[in-house]
Structure 1
Amino acid sequence: MGTDIHLSIYLDTRRVKKNGKYPVKLRVFVPFPREQKFYNLSLEYTEEEFKNIWETKKPKKEYKEDNIKLNAILTKANQIAASLEHFTTKEFENIFFSNRSVNKNDVAYYYNIYINKLKENKQIGTASNYELSLKSLIAFYGKDMIPFYAITPDWLEKYERYMIDEKKLSQTTVGIYLRPLRAIFNNAIEDKAVKIELYPFGKRKYIIPAPKSVKKALNKKSLSTLYNCPPKSSEQEIAKDFWFFSYVCYGMNVKDILQLKVSNVKDGVLTFKRAKTSRTNKNHLPLSIPLHSFALNVIKKYGNINGKPDEYIFKIINKNQSAEEQHEKIKNFTRLINQHILSLAQSCGIEEKISTYWARHTFATNAILQGESMEFVSEALQHSNLSTTKGYFAGFENEKKKEISEKLMDL
């Protein structure tokens, strides 16, 4: 490692947490080409604690254990940096966060690299999915280290039977756990750590289960019933308001709703870009939605449209929270909506197990039934292709089919 590369322990005081502490990070600075990166160490201290632990030459007894811990982290970082013939931050972080010796034939090695990348990009939910996938694969294999060559089509078939027969899980869950593994294989092949001949997925190999999705759209009658059903509690009222807010805002998901900022609304028009789309397709144009009076009333009732441009409209999350904290708040709020919109629906005789997903699918289906093109709905949902949008459409009811049939002979 060149002597011009600097590693240090750093207290990030830009945003204080609710407990009054700040995150501790490893700072890596490379002067040429100039690059600086900060890696979260999952530690946090107050400024006074950090001073007593790290910035003093002789820490007191109560701070020695933390001092040793930070020194061990810095020593490990320096050793890794010194072992690299050509230092790059990417190669450094691959080794630093793997928590094991470098073994590019190890599935978990590539999982940990990608999980760390997702967390850095604040994709906490996706990172959690990859962690659950890895945990499940390790449990089935019986060892922490899984060589790529061990994962064959036959092994995957056995894993699927284990998940369904022993763990009593669905094929949908199997698919959720194996799609991350397929992505990890692709990463390792791209990195030339795994030969393409070992790839176990695809035609004449192992096909990841993809059960036909259940259509999740309310018909017009059920939608009207839900809208006119009086809430029995304040929680049901909140759930109903935000469910219909999603519906009239082109099926916007809860995360995007809660991340809306004051600057996203101007002259009665909501302009935003899905968080998911902004990562997968940076060239995708923002979506503009003329706000229905119902949506405007929800904003007036629960939000703040007159705040600073960078403030969130709804106060469920705030900009001082970490990505992990925001993820937890969004997940809890989504759970609240799902729990209470379901109980409200059941109280008025709707049998479907509705959730926030249903608002999105219901928008798509009703828009098409009202004559909107599949292309318009695809754009409104910010899908990258029409096949995804078609999966949202619940199809035509018999009454609509009969109406079409009657018109066939209007010659």
Structure 2
Amino acid sequence: MATVNYYLDTRKTDEGFGIIKLRITHYREQKDYSTKIKIATSVFEKLKKQGSELDGRIRDSEIITYHHLLYASKDNRKIFADGFIIRAKTIIKKMGDNFDSDNFKSDFDNYGKETMCLDDKTDLIKTLNIKCETLKAKGQLTHGTNFGLVAKSLTRFVDYLNIHDPNRLKPRKNFVLRFSHVDSTFLTDWSSFMKEHGKVSQKKINGVPIRAKGASETTIGIYSRTLRVVFNDAIEAKTIDRDTYPFGNKRFSPPVGRNIKKALSTTQIDAIKAYTPTPNTLEQRSHDLWLFSYFGNGMNFTDILHLTWKEITDNTILFQRQKTIKTNTDISVRINDTMKAILGRWASERKNENDFVFPFLNGLNTLEKRTAEVHQIIKVTNYHMNAIGAKLEIKENLNTYVARHSFATRLLRSNAPLAMIKEKLGHKKIATTESYLGSFEKEVEDKYLDEL
């Protein structure tokens, strides 16, 4: 009978990552099948040590998720289905002595599609949670988390309706929110609910969370578009009819947040560049990283903190955005004197080409830990930059995104071609670049208007 094992294929992935593949052996003939699960090498080594039985003392959510994806047995009470190892062993046992690699591949690719319970297919919350965990397991942490947040928001909305409008859904014990419950009216009311109660405070008084606040139009739009994805998936899988689709013309349209221009004026930028922070403090680090972003093509902080030494040669940085790394689009940044000085103050020693340039993510071997650290550095930077802004009497917000927007708008004000700005920002579409550009300063507008 055939046997199944798994290994990490690191040939075509980023440094430090690989794809988990199954290896089926039958009479010494080996065939490999991809699970499409991208995982850090360090995490894979920990996962491999667990074997088929997960140590009950393990609390690392990333290890638990990956183990479920490989070894979990289908349980309708939970969000996971049969893991890849379980699927392979089930198929092999069913084939017995009649094992055939081509038939195995067909059964493996289509596993569970025919027998999946209708209740599972139409359970909206479960569908969102499965999407969340699947994307996170593939390394798409932020994208996957959004699906989990939408599931939590919808669950809170159902609880709200159970109290304030009990006849609306007639929820009973073990109520399951299904695709069929969600129409354009439901979405409109959910949107109104989020405007008033959508932002849940993390602070508590005597163990009880403080009253929720309203979410922004931007957040509501993101949640709505995320929900729309699973509806489109369900239509493609023929789980629901297209006629029941609640989005689109004359139905519900996800709100679009106001496109508030974030770029600073030339005078404000010059004041920030001239500011002298207290040496060797978080204020100086924040000021330096903000300027590094501004001068570095408006580089996103995630990209700055993930820079490796192999991406820096002489006076140039050649990197790929973490957000769109699969597109293999290189972005070139010229390193000026200010950036060199910042590297001199904060960069780690150049020992290994694969080491991070800035040391803040060193020792963090999981994507979740690195993401949390990036968010913390952004939070600290925003705090100190806004404090600097107050000293300089700049009323505008000086968060990290402002550096990126200001870089793009400063180029535009210098009459740089839009195509060049698009390339420097690493955008795929001109329309995306246009959304980054702030309005022209009044004196520039007057100059053009005087020409009329």
With structure 1 as the length reference, what TM-score do the two structures score? 0.79
1:4-403 alignment runs, 5 A limit: 4=2, 6=4, 29-31=23-25, 33-35=31-33, 37=35, 77=82, 87-88=107-108, 91=111, 103-142=120-159, 145-167=176-198, 168-232=214-278, 234-279=281-326, 282=327, 285-304=329-348, 306-318=350-362, 321-403=365-447
Q: In structure 2, do the counterparts of structure 1 residues 163 and 271 end up closer, same or farther at CA, with 3 Å as the change threshold?
A: same
Alignment check: 8 A CA contact 2:4 2:89 kept: no
Q: In structure 2, do the counterparts of structure 1 residues 109 and 80 end up closer, same or farther at CA, with 3 Å as the change threshold?
A: farther
The CA deviation at 1:127 is 2.0
Alignment check: 8 A CA contact 1:260 1:314 kept: yes
Give the aligned length.
372
Q: In structure 2, do the counterparts of structure 1 residues 138 and 5 end up closer, same or farther at CA, with 3 Å as the change threshold?
A: farther
The CA deviation at 1:90 is 7.8
Measured in 2, the distance between the counterparts of 1:45 and 1:278 equals 24
Measured in 1, the distance between the counterparts of 2:24 and 2:443 equals 68
Alignment check: 8 A CA contact 1:262 1:304 kept: no
Q: In structure 2, do the counterparts of structure 1 residues 293 and 39 end up closer, same or farther at CA, with 3 Å as the change threshold?
A: closer
The CA deviation at 1:172 is 2.0
Work out the percentage of aligned pairs sharing the same amino acid.
Answer: 23
Alignment check: 8 A CA contact 2:5 2:24 kept: no
Q: Which has the higher contact order (CA 8 A, sep 6+)?
A: 1
The CA deviation at 1:244 is 0.7
Alignment check: 8 A CA contact 1:299 1:305 kept: no
Alignment check: 8 A CA contact 1:138 1:144 kept: no
1:406 is aligned to 450
Alignment check: 8 A CA contact 1:273 1:286 kept: yes
2:14 is aligned to none
Question: Where do 4+ consecutive residues of structure 1 move more than 6 Å?
Answer: 43-47, 63-66, 82-85
The CA deviation at 1:207 is 0.8
State the AA in 2 paired with 1:277. Answer: T
Q: CA RMSD in A?
A: 3.7
State the AA in 2 paired with 1:88. Answer: F
Choose 228-237 or 397-406, whichever is displaced more.
Answer: 228-237
| CA deviation string 1:116-166 (max 9, x = no partner) | 232123222222222111110122134773211211111100101111134
Q: In structure 2, do the counterparts of structure 1 residues 34 and 301 end up closer, same or farther at CA, with 3 Å as the change threshold?
A: same
Measured in 2, the distance between the counterparts of 1:29 and 1:345 equals 58
1:21 is aligned to none
Measured in 2, the distance between the counterparts of 1:384 and 1:65 equals 45
Q: In structure 2, do the counterparts of structure 1 residues 310 and 64 end up closer, same or farther at CA, with 3 Å as the change threshold?
A: closer
Measured in 2, the distance between the counterparts of 1:6 and 1:191 equals 29
The CA deviation at 1:50 is 6.0
What's the secondary structure of 2:360's corresponding residue?
coil
What's the secondary structure of 2:120's corresponding residue?
coil
State the AA in 2 paired with 1:251. Answer: G
Q: In structure 2, do the counterparts of structure 1 residues 74 and 362 end up closer, same or farther at CA, with 3 Å as the change threshold?
A: closer
Choose 134-143 or 149-158, whichever is displaced more.
Answer: 134-143
State the AA in 1 paired with 2:152. Answer: K
| CA deviation string 1:91-131 (max 9, x = no partner) | 57x99xx9x99721222343233222321232222222221
Structure 1, gaps ≥5 residues long = 15-25, 56-62
Structure 2, gaps ≥5 residues long = 11-19, 59-63, 75-81, 95-105, 160-173, 199-213
Measured in 1, the distance between the counterparts of 2:369 and 2:335 equals 29
Alignment check: 8 A CA contact 2:87 2:108 kept: no
